Amino acid sequence: QQQVKQSPQSLIVQKGGISIINCAYENTAFDYFPWYQQFPGKGPALLIAIRPDVSEKKEGRFTISFNKSAKQFSLHIMDSQPGDSATYFCAASVEYGNKLVFGAGTILRVKS
């Protein structure tokens, strides 16, 4: 049972454009929603995370939008750069720092 559904599977964006990745969850007990960036052969690195008590969180070029009623959240990467080319995973957990359920991942390629 896939508890966190992520789309799209892959995404190609021009340099300077906006990359948008979407996730939907089923378990209403989830209360922590992080996004991770992973480069080939490396462990995932936390990008940004949100709790369900806020609808948006912004850190630099990265923004999470959260819709509790729709059980959806998304990652927006503004001014996308070639260095942003990586695989992005959304995730969710019941309680901050607890075991994570990951989405399937999105391979982002930013063309220069």
**Would you tell me which residues interact with another protein (CB under 8 A)?**
36, 41-46, 89, 95-105
Cβ proximity to another protein: between 74 and 106 the closer is 106
User: Which segments within 51-98 are labelled E, that is strand?
Assistant: 56-59, 62-67, 72-77, 86-92
Nearer to another protein by C-beta: 41 or 83?
41
d(CA 79, CA 25) in angstroms, rounded, equals: 27
Comparing CB distances to another protein, the nearer of 16 and 99 is 99
Omega before 8 cis (within 30°)? yes
Residue number, 9 or 69, with CB nearest to another protein: 9
**Smallest gap, in angstroms, from Cβ of residue 69 to another protein?**
26
* Nearest distance in Å: CB 94, another protein: 11
Question: In whole angstroms, how close is the CB of 80 to another protein at the nearest point?
Answer: 22
Distances (CA, A) of 73 to 4, 41, 81, 111: 10, 27, 22, 25
